[in-house]
Structure 1
Amino acid sequence: MPTYAYRCAACGHAFDIHQSFSDEALTVCPECEGPLRKQYGSVGVTFKGSGFYRTDSRGSTSTPSTTTPSKPSTPAKSTAPKTASA
């Protein structure tokens, strides 16, 4: 059974409860009988494998690509003379 977190909008009372998927969500605070809101936490997601890069998600072209990926360009070196500081 999943655990759900609730917080009262009136008094701020927070608690967790085990509920079945088919159970109705709680709406009344057991402390002050104020309105309850379900709290949602962050979900742990791990991306594994290919398909998570910009180039991996593009559609296929009419001709298959057999070229290797290009190397990133390096910035040009400055040819300006260095000045001495006084």
Structure 2
Amino acid sequence: MPIYEYECGGCGERQEFIQKFSDPQKRKCPACGALKLKRLLSAAAFHLKGDGWYVTDFRDKDKKKKKDDGKADSKADSKTDGKS
């Protein structure tokens, strides 16, 4: 379940709540009781490590493109050198 961060418009208190996607937004501030809670937009953080999909599916594609670009440049250079 995701963790949602809320801020009270009345007292400024910030709190986090674990909620289901289907749960309604919280409205009442647990600190002051005001009905001014607003859900904040928070950036999610995660770290990719190990030999999973990141390494096999994404990381190597950039290396292959750079190698292919280098081969295309060397072929173009050899053609121009032969015509001189």
The answer to which structure has the higher helix fraction is: 2
TM-score between the two structures when normalised by the length of structure 2: 0.50
TM-score between the two structures when normalised by the length of structure 1: 0.49
